[in-house]
Structure 1
């Protein structure tokens, strides 16, 4: 079943690319920690998978052309611990509505709750 879903996802990604839809569309793929109820979890591979959730982001081509630093920042931020607040802020940034991002700052800190992954995430505070 998983392999057929993989094949469908690959076919869908090829369709998005070949039809030109990735020019204007943000594409986010998220996966959880693998098989939850099978004996696979008791194997070495299963233990690794449960610790490796997936998030892949494809930026719209037009955004990459107008903001090449955004792609660079996203690639560097792939190695930074993020939260769903950061993903929300990133989506708002991509659609041109960064002013709607939550501006809450944790008391005693100057780190915003959500940071756009299209900007360098400053590690000086952590």
Structure 2
């Protein structure tokens, strides 16, 4: 097994200006490092089967989960069970970098739901 990093992992772009690197991908596990620039966010969604754990490496994440806002700072994480609607955004000045660990992998297991406005 080779050592993996953003330098050699499979790379993709999402939402025009956000990036992801697949650090680990198997039938039962997905580990992705992502970068979200200031002002960017993902579409609100849930996963039917996958549970996820978000862990902030740098920057500050705003994570809306089932209508509740959570602010995650570096070296803080949050677990989201399957079936719970959520969205992650970067509402701060610095790029947000984080890990998202999914089991089973979340790709192809996503249902978009309407955005909601929640006051922090």
- The question of a shared fold, defined as TM-score above 0.5 by the shorter chain, is answered with no
Name the one with the larger helix percent: 1
TM-score (norm 2): 0.27
More strand by share: 2
TM-score (norm 1): 0.27
Larger Rg: 1
Q: Higher relative contact order by CA 8 Å / sep ≥ 6: 1 or 2?
A: 2
